[in-house]
Amino acid sequence: MKRIIGVTGGIASGKSNVCHVISSLGYSVIDSDAISRELSEKGKPLYNAIVGRFGTEYLDEEGNLNRSKLGKLIFRNSAAKLVLNQTTHPIIVEEIKKRIKEQPDGIIFIEIPLLFESKLEYLCDKIICVFLSKKQQVLRLMEREGIDEDYALAKIHSQMDLYMKKELSDYVIDSQGSFEQTEEAVIQVINQIKGEEKNGNY
């Protein structure tokens, strides 16, 4: 039997570190962002769908999708963001389902940053939220992307509040500490999941 565990959180909250640990422990991790990047390559399904909706204006000189330019558009334009989501999400979700089917029985993790925003809870048996205080989230995002505080806050506020995601999730991993502390927290949550599965409390 397959058990599907969603991994979500906010921007710069530490999801990649958590999924790196999960993967290093031998579990399969399906990364929705990686799927999006892969299917956005020239000639692939997302690329064709996006060009069909938004035109060649959002391609670079080599004909590849200009993700930065498209990102700036949807960040400032909620209508364009809705169109993009309606265009891309069904394709990404179908690919996620396909990859789940290809996996052997066991615990499978799916990293979906906008899991709640996209209403994809139905894909998961349980959900992990990778949590970080807003102050730390802002600092990490500013450092990672080289942006100022106002822009970092704007990007954070464009997503569902992380405290709300925390309340909606079955497990919470606090990533404010060191990598080693995060690693230990991941192991504890996985052991909890395995214990619940063994006892039939799923």
What pLDDT is attached to residue 187? Answer: 96
What pLDDT is attached to residue 97? Answer: 97
Domain ranges of the chain: 2-192
What pLDDT is attached to residue 158? Answer: 87
Fold of 2-192: Rossmann fold (3.40.50)
Give one DSSP letter per residue of 107-142, joined into a string. Answer: EEEEE-TTTTTTT-GGG-SEEEEEE--HHHHHHHHH
One pLDDT digit (tens) per residue for the chain, 202 residues: 899 999 999 999 999 999 999 999 999 999 999 999 999 999 999 999 999 999 999 999 999 999 889 988 888 888 998 999 999 999 999 999 999 999 999 999 999 999 999 999 999 999 999 999 999 999 999 999 999 999 899 889 889 999 999 999 999 999 999 999 999 999 999 999 998 877 766 5
Global pTM exceeds 0.85: yes
Give one DSSP letter per residue of 70-86, joined into a string. Answer: HHHHHHH-HHHHHHHHH
